[in-house]
Each structure stands twice: as structure tokens, then as C-alpha cells.
Amino acid sequence: MSKLTQRNGMRPADDQETCPICKTSRYLNPNMKFLVNPECYHKMCSACVDRIFSAGPAPCPVAGCHRTLRKARFRAQTFEDIQVEREVDIRRRVAATFNRREEEFETLLDYNNYLEEVETITFNLLNGIDLSATEKKLANYAAQNAQAISANASRASREAASLSAQQAAEREAARLRREAARREEEEEREEREELRREALTRLAAGNQGEADRIAHEMQKIVLKKSTARKQRQQMESLLKPRAGMAGAGGAAASGLAAGADNGSAALADNDTFVIKGLKPTLPVEPEKPYDPFGGYTEHREYYVLKDTYEHPWLDDVRSKPQFLAGGYDVHEYYARTMFEAFSGLCCFVGDEVAAREKASSGEVATTAAAEAAGAGGGDINMDDVF
């Protein structure tokens, strides 16, 4: 037995099972539960919590801690190490506020810079570095981006609900497949048993020479039923509607939060947290009526198409059956000729040729300058490696 056990009569592990307030150990009270408060993370038993905080908020009974605690915030400790418990709570709190997504940023570098600054804030909170300024930055960002935070939180909850529903549907589908396989095995076993009884009955009633023929017929029946069953199962699987997967990121543009600045993520010198590099959020335009022509119109800008044009050559087209019998419409000729006549009004060939010649002359000058620079350096001796 160790000296520590001989001195106080308990094992070293029992020290962690003793309430620091009332000094009650789990040895005396096996049903004792320890609770912690995220304000100070001091552990105490549930009896002390009921005794001290039932009347309302009260200061922490641990010596040196002057934080005011409330009974409603006490909860059971999840992790054995209280520092891990505190870090998880702080990271959960920071992540609930800084919940931007990668698709909200213009580049991956901007998103990585944003994550680095968020990790800096988390590190300061964990290690007590400049707590007042860090808490103020956190509060200011939460107030300035409340709409964006709420939108991303709602989107995350919808994705979690969709994922949960998808997993439940997959589990249900797996259960149905198992039941279908079990029913199939049961039906196949019953069919084999029925065919075996039928074969025995026919063999008992028939001649000795018919045994091979009866066995062959039974095999054909078994194969036919098995093939029909497989085809029926394939048809049922094809007819079943497939559950659509929720797009975790399919509608990323619709879920982007509004009200953010542009540039790369950075902490300002004051008490505000500035996020830069965010994509500009465009207002959602109302849905326009369907246009089968894709925005093109038959409106003519330079001329008005008349119903008829007087010309001797067109008189025959309008009157002779040779042209009208095939369904030819002279108005199609009017529209095509007028369109071809006015189609080149906005095309200035001279300006296009001048611009092309100017560009080509610049390239020629650049090439000549490069050749001249190379020629001015003297002859090159290809045998000289230097």
C-alpha cells in the first residue's frame, strides 16, 4: 500500500471525486453528481448547487472566484479534463458567431485568412490574452452581422435536418431490403418444398422410366420461377422513386448572407472585426415572364415593312398560280430584301480595318525592336558555353 493511501485512507483518484465545497466524497454518497458552470468551470456537487443557488444568483463559493453564477447554467461535465471542456465551449461559442462559409468568399486565400483571424480570437479567449478587447470585437461583429449570422445558422440547421432525414430514409430503405430478401428466401424455400412434394407425388404415381423426365421438368419449373422472380424484383426496383439528396451546397448563392465588406480578412486596429474578400451579394431579381424568343424582338429599328411594294417583277409573283400554288408568300421576300438592305448600317468597315492595321503594325515594331536588340549584342559563338 502506498504512503498516500496509508496517510489519508483513500486512493489518489478519490481526490477528484470529492466536492471542493462540502468535502463530501463519492465513497460516502455513491449517487453524488458533479456539475460545472461555464462562467468559471468550478466543479461542485449537485447538493451544493441546490443549496447555494436555489434562491437565485449567487457568487461562486470557491475561494478567490467572484463570478456570479445561476443555477440554470449548471450542467454535467462532458470531458474528464476541465480545460478541454472550457475549450470546447469557447470554440462552440466563437463558431456560432463566425459561421461564414467558403463559398461566400471570392478566393480560397480570403477564406483561409478569415479562418486564421477567427483562430486568433479563439486563442486569445482560451489563454486570457486581451480579453476585454477580444470580447468587444466579438460583440461588435455579432451586432453588425446579425442578419448574416442568422441566415447561415438557419441554413446549417436545414442542412442538418436534411441530412438526418436522408440517413433515416437510408436506414428505412436498408430495412425494407432486408425484409424483401428474407421474404424472397422464404418464398423460394416454400416453392422448392412444394415442387419436391409434387415431384414425389408424380414419381409415386408414375412408372419407373418417367423419373428422369419428371426430374428434368421440375428443374425447368424451378429455373423459370427463379427467373420470373428476379425480373419482377428488377422492375420493382426501377419503378421505386429514388429519394433526392439535399444539396448541401447546390443553392449556395441563395444562402449567402448579406451585409459584408470586400477584401481579405483582417482585424482592424479598433474594436471591430472586418471581414474582407466576401463576394458582393446581389439582390434577388423577381422572376420574369417566360419569353420563348430569349429576349429577341421583331421590332425593326431602321425601317418599316409595308404590306406591298409596287414593282413590275413582283406582279407575276402576286398573281400567277405557278408561284401561289406552292404556298410562296411574297411578304417573305419583302422582309428578307429589306433586312439585307439595312443589315450593314451599323458596320463601319473602315474603322475596323484601321484598328486591325494599327494592331498589326505594333506587333511588327515590337518584333523589329527585339531583332535589333539581339543584333546589337554582336555575333554569338555557339561553341562558347558561357
Q: Does residue 91 sit within a domain?
A: no
What's the domain range around 10? 3-77
- Inside any domain, residue 32: yes
More confident residue, 373 or 284: 284
Is 334 within the bounds of a domain?
Answer: yes
Whether residue 281 has pLDDT greater than 80 = no
User: CA dist 256 to 105, 148, 161, 264, 285, Å?
Assistant: 10, 8, 19, 17, 15
Domain boundary among 217, 237, 257: 237
Beta strands in the chain (DSSP E): 34-36, 44-45, 58-59, 68-69, 75-76, 266-267, 273-274
Residues 306 and 231 in one domain: no
Q: Does the pTM of the predicted model rise above 0.85?
A: no
- Segment 307-329 shows an average pLDDT of 81
Considering the domain boundaries, does residue 141 fall inside one? no
Total count of domains within the chain:
3
Domain boundary among 23, 50, 77: 77
Residues 309 and 230 reside in one and the same domain: no
Q: Is the domain of 233 the same as that of 154?
A: yes
CATH number where 20 lies: 3.30.40.10
Using CA of residue 332, residue 333, residue 334, residue 339, what is the dihedral sign? positive
295 lies in a domain?
no
Confirm whether 99 is domain-assigned: no
**pLDDT tens readout for residues 31-71:** 889 999 998 999 999 999 999 999 999 999 998 888 999 99
The proportion of the chain whose per-residue pLDDT surpasses 70, expressed as a percent, equals 76
Rounded to an integer, the average pLDDT of 150-171 is 92
Q: What is residue 103's three-state secondary structure? A: helix
In a domain, 73, yes or no: yes
